[in-house]
């Protein structure tokens, strides 16, 4: 199965700074790379995703970059705000099914 | 669209009792997933269905766990007998095979077995 690792496990930044979370995966056939945000006590919600034929995708303050050769993709959040505080999960999908394998999560804290 | 609907939101039960969790996926979605979330193990996939057929149940912890999807609009996850280590948040998610393959999660069921 897919092995997924996220780094760092915790990240604390000042409001207005940028945050970067990296996800490495093992299945070279993986073709879909989403990031989920989970606020305390809430459900995980999809915030951005990218497919294997694209190297970068941006949506306002968030972006995802993909390096298929190195088998990693990253979440970038610029101009962070306190409401960005949450746990972020990467969840690459293997090439042969619809299963998403979730990383262990990164707790992002944005300090006012 | 009401989203993925799970019930109950909270369940407290005594060890040894049977527990049934319920999920209604988004209408038209053809894949349904049951996940368990704990602090120690994170989000674990228990089982997933495609067009109501179980495709992969390798994540089901043991025979005490069973899941069914009798039709496209309903699924259940049953634990019998329940144990304290089953305490977790259980999420159901659904998706539609297509250009946008992200999951939509339900609000989850917080299960406490005492």
Residue of chain B nearest A49, judged by CA positions: B102
Q: Which residues in chain B are closer than 8 Å to A105, comparing Cβ atoms?
A: 42-43
User: Which tens digits make up the pLDDT trace of B8-49?
Assistant: 999 999 999 999 999 999 999 989 999 999 998 899 999 999
Helix (H, G, I), strand (E, B) or coil at B107: coil
Task: Tell me the DSSP string of A33-54.
Answer: EEEEEE-TTS--EEEEEEETT-
- Chain B segment 54-83 residues within 8 A of A by beta carbon are 55-56
Q: What is the pLDDT of residue B102?
A: 80
CB-CB contact of A19 with A13 (8 Å): yes
Instruction: Please write the tens of the pLDDT for every residue from A90-100.
Output: 999 877 667 78
Residue A67 contacts by C-beta under 8 Å, 6 or more apart in sequence? A55, A73
**Chain A residues touching residue B104 (CB < 8 angstroms):** 46
For residue B100, what pLDDT band results from cuts at 50, 70 and 90?
A: low
Place of tokens 């497919």: A51
| Identity of the residue in A43, A49, A105 whose CB atom sits nearest the CB atom of B105 | A43
Mean model confidence pLDDT for chain B: 93
**Residue A61, pLDDT score:** 97
Q: How many residues are there in chain A?
A: 112
User: Would you place residue A54 in the very low, low, confident or very high pLDDT band (cuts 50, 70, 90)?
Assistant: confident
Confidence of residue B62 (pLDDT cuts 50, 70, 90): confident
Please answer whether residues A37 and A91 qualify as being in contact, where contact means their C-beta atoms are separated by less than 8 angstroms. Answer: no
pLDDT of A15 strictly over 80: yes
Name which of A43, A45, A105 is nearest B42 (Cβ-Cβ).
A105
Give the mean pLDDT of chain A. Answer: 93
Give me the pLDDT at residue B3, please.
92
Which of B:36-55 have CB within 8 Å of A?
42-43, 45, 48, 50, 55
Would an 8 Å CB–CB cutoff place A94 in contact with chain B?
Answer: no
């Amino acid at each position: 199965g897919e092995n997924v690792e996220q780094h760092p496990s915790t990240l604390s930044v000042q409001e207005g700074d940028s945050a970067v979370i990296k996800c490495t995966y093992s299945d070279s056939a993986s073709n879909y790379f989403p990031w989920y945000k989970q606020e305390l006590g809430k459900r995980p919600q999809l915030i951005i995703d990218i497919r294997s034929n694209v190297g970068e995708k941006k949506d306002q303050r968030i972006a995802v970059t993909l390096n298929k050769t190195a088998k990693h993709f990253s979440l970038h959040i610029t101009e962070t705000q306190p409401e960005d505080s949450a746990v972020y999960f990467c969840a690459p999908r293997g090439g042969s099914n619809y299963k998403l394998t979730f990383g262990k999560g990164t707790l992002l804290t944005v300090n006012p | 669209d009401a989203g993925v609907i799970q019930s109950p939101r909270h369940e407290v039960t005594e060890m040894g009792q049977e527990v049934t969790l319920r999920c209604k996926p988004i209408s038209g979605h053809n894949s349904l997933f049951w996940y368990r979330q704990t602090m120690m193990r994170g989000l674990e996939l228990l089982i997933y269905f495609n067009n109501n057929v179980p495709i992969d149940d390798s994540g089901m912890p043991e025979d005490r766990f069973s899941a069914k999807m009798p039709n496209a609009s309903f699924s259940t996850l049953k634990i019998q007998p329940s144990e304290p280590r089953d305490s977790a948040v259980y999420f159901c998610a659904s998706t539609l095979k297509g250009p946008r393959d992200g999951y939509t999660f339900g609000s989850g069921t917080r299960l406490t077995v005492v």
